[in-house]
Amino acid sequence: MQVHSIASVFLAILHFVSGVNVTENVTPSLPALQVNRLLTVSGISAGGYMAVQFHVSYSRTVTAAGVVAGGPYWCAKDNVETALHACMKQPESINVEVLRAATVAAENVGSIDALENLQNAKLYFFSGAKDSVVHTGVMSKLVDYYQSYTHPSNIKTVFNMSAEHTFPTMSYGNPCTFLGSPYIGNCGYDAAYDILSNAWEGIKRAGPNTSLAENLIEFSQAPYFLVDPALVSMGSVGFIYIPNACKNGNLQCRLHIAFHGCLQGKENIQDTFARHAGYNDHAELNNIVVLYPQAQPTQPLNPKGCFDWWGYTAPDYACRLGPQIAGVGKMVTQLQKAPER
């Protein structure tokens, strides 16, 4: 109760001093769209780690995952130094057997879904050959981790492209071998399409400018957290792309969650990742709702606005009890509800 009251007072003071309505032009809550209960996830860097955590936590309903420059579940083991070294640049220090044991322990206490759900998972992993932030060997450890639970034929890897630490697109962003904001690369390669088409059969490739700018909207993330989102390093708003065919809930559309990387949230680059990573064109054509949760920087534990994959929010950050994972899970539940008629 004390945490709630402090956060409420802080927001009230902020509103009074600034005179700004923090929910102006923001959808108060996510709509009920009756999306399919089976969904898929993806992410880059810290968002790639979060995608793995979300997949393992909710594997009963998350059927596929795409990871760009991430790593295996619970790699950091609740330790920021391990995250910065072993889980980014020293893959030889990653003991996959220890991570598997931790995963089984989480299953045994019921904080993640049953691991047998992973046996049919469809997985797509991308690591740039010139990635200077997350070594390709870390992604190889991710392959090793998932091979404990699914057949190698279910894992697609792209590790040979001359790309830096970036989310590859057909034509948007920096040169593919450039390291820097917004960490989206003009690589002549559509990673978003490969992620979506690997997750679902029959995905059609959209041409450029298929998406509609007005279909990417902001929503308040506050209803999905027990405390003010800022207290768990989540932004006040998130983004969601809703194709025209999915807006009234009459069509049961698919749902994909895309987690941004560090320095890619709204606080740093506004809606650039959500608008330009490449998902929305294919989403419009294939009736896929794309949810873009937003993390935000907090000092001193998360200055770059990363999703929590090393334990800055809570020791149980990597399972359904983790505040960020639980909050995004509630967003999914809202989108799966049938609209009121």
Q: Is 45 a catalytic residue?
A: yes
Q: pLDDT per residue over 39-57, tens digit each?
A: 999 999 999 999 999 999 9
Residue pair 274/216 in contact (Cβ under 8 Å)? The answer is: yes
Q: Is the pLDDT of residue 10 over 90?
A: no
One-letter amino acid at 317 equals Y
Q: pLDDT per residue over 97-115, tens digit each?
A: 999 999 999 999 999 999 9
Q: How far apart are the C-alpha atoms of 44 and 161, rounded to whole Å?
A: 16
Residues present in the chain in total: 341
Residue pair 211/192 in contact (Cβ under 8 Å)? The answer is: no
- For the chain, helix (H) and strand (E) counts, in that order, are 10, 11
Q: Is the pLDDT of residue 250 over 60?
A: yes
> Average of pLDDT values for 233-247?
98
Strands (E), 164-301: 167-169, 174-175, 184-186, 216-220, 237-241, 254-259, 288-292
Catalytic, out of 113, 127, 131, 233: 131
What is the predicted pLDDT for the residue at 27? Answer: 58
Q: How far apart are the C-alpha atoms of 86 and 167, rounded to whole Å?
A: 22
> Average of pLDDT values for 216-238?
97
User: Per-residue confidence at 249, pLDDT binned at 50, 70, 90?
Assistant: confident
Considering only CA atoms, which of 151, 49, 149 is closest in space to residue 103?
149
Catalytic, out of 42, 45, 59, 127: 45
Q: Is 131 a catalytic residue?
A: yes
Q: pLDDT per residue over 110-135, tens digit each?
A: 999 999 999 999 999 999 999 999 99
Q: pLDDT per residue over 16-40, tens digit each?
A: 333 333 334 455 789 999 999 999 9
Distances (CA, A) of 149 to 49, 121, 261: 18, 9, 26
Helix axes 191-199, 279-286, angle to 10 degrees: 40
Mean pLDDT of all residues belonging to the chain: 93
Q: Is 220 a catalytic residue?
A: no
Joined together, the tokens standing for residue 111 give 């904080």
Q: Is the pLDDT of residue 11 over 70?
A: no
pTM assigned to the model? 0.92
What is the predicted pLDDT for the residue at 289? Answer: 98
Q: Is the pLDDT of residue 15 over 70?
A: no
> Average of pLDDT values for 188-207?
98
Q: How far apart are the C-alpha atoms of 209 and 207, rounded to whole Å?
A: 6
Residue at token pair 């010139």: 130
What is the predicted pLDDT for the residue at 26? Answer: 54
Catalytic, out of 165, 256, 276, 282: 165
Residues of the chain above pLDDT 70, percent: 92
Q: Is the pLDDT of residue 4 over 60?
A: no
